[in-house]
Amino acid sequence: AQRVTQPEKLLSVFKGAPVELKCNYSYSGSPELFWYVQYSRQRLQLLLRHISRESIKGFTADLNKGETSFHLKKPFAQEEDSAMYYCAGRGKLIFGQGTELSVKP
Amino acid sequence: GAVVSQHPSRVICKSGTSVKIECRSLDFQATTMFWYRQFPKQSLMLMATSNEGSKATYEQGVEKDKFLINHASLTLSTLTVTSAHPEDSSFYICSARENRGLGPQHFGDGTRLSIL
């Protein structure tokens, strides 16, 4: 079955610390993966997709087929990064459980 | 950028009422739209895929007769929760893909449905 897994429900770091939000996928065929972010009281927004290999707001994510992972990273967390982050895969978007990132001053 | 508008944002109604939620793509055509349900502190659960001009595709465990989906035009999909009961109370979110279904998904603001 198609599955996207985010093992951490909550990740708390201090401002300026590195951040890694984990995402593992499990399905056949070519992976199509995205990271979405949901700030408090706002709609879901696309943050990254693996095919574009871009950096948005300092975040990057690399697809690792060997480990079937698509972890989201940022070298120096900012307070404004605090939000819910969802990893999602495939055309109709199978969502991971979400990770709440809390960046403390 | 591409915008998806969802209406209403909040509905409070009595048990037994049918509620219609609209999802519109404002500046692009969407042959495919998606309906999700989100419980408090949980992730989004895909309910169904809405296809313009044809029947919706429902995920396993989602009642077709309970959640009626109509996608009559390239910019509008509607979800009707029929004879709603308190257990149907939830946050419903729609999304649409631009670029003929090949582009990224854009999400509506969601509809908070509360059944008394």
B29 contacts: CB under 8 Å, gap ≥ 6 = B74, B75
Q: pLDDT tens across A55-80, in order?
A: 788 899 988 888 999 999 999 999 99
**Can you tell me the mean pLDDT for B81-87?**
95
Q: How far apart are CA B4 and CA B23, in angstroms?
A: 7
Q: How far apart are CA A9 and CA A94, in angstroms?
A: 17
| Cβ separation B43–A97 shorter than 8 A | yes
**Least reliable range by pLDDT among A31-35, A71-75, B60-64, B86-90:** A31-35
Mark out chain B residues that contact chain A at CB-CB < 8 A. 34, 36, 42-46, 49, 93, 95, 97, 101, 104-110
Per-residue confidence band for A1, with pLDDT thresholds at 50, 70 and 90: low
pLDDT in the model for residue A42: 82
Per the CB < 8 A criterion, the answer to whether B52 and B73 are in contact is yes
Alpha-carbon Rg of chain B, whole angstroms? 13
The answer to whether A51 contacts chain B (CB < 8 Å) is no
- Given a cut of 70, whether residue B75 has pLDDT beyond it is yes
CB contacts, 8 Å: A7 with chain B: none
CB contacts, 8 Å: A96 with chain B: 43
Per the CB < 8 A criterion, the answer to whether A25 and A5 are in contact is yes
| Cβ separation B46–A49 shorter than 8 A | no
pLDDT in the model for residue A55: 77
Per cent of chain B over pLDDT 70 is: 94
CB pairs under 8 A between A and B: 40
- Given a cut of 70, whether residue B2 has pLDDT beyond it is no
- Given a cut of 80, whether residue A27 has pLDDT beyond it is no
Query: Between β-strands A10-14 and A99-104, what pairing exists: parallel, antiparallel or unpaired?
Result: parallel
Q: How far apart are CA B61 and CA A98, in angstroms?
A: 22
pLDDT in the model for residue B102: 67
B59 contacts: CB under 8 Å, gap ≥ 6 = B45, B46, B47, B48
pLDDT in the model for residue A50: 77
Q: How far apart are CA A92 and CA B96, in angstroms?
A: 10
DSSP β-bridge partners for residue A104? A14
Q: How far apart are CA B29 and CA B15, in angstroms?
A: 35
Q: pLDDT tens across B27-62, in order?
A: 888 888 999 999 887 888 999 998 888 889 999 999
What mean pLDDT is reported for chain B? 90
pLDDT in the model for residue B84: 94
How many C-beta neighbours within 10 Å does residue B20 have? Answer: 14
How many C-beta neighbours within 10 Å does residue A34 have? Answer: 24
- Given a cut of 70, whether residue A21 has pLDDT beyond it is yes
Per the CB < 8 A criterion, the answer to whether A81 and A56 are in contact is no
| Cβ separation B107–A94 shorter than 8 A | no
pLDDT in the model for residue B53: 83
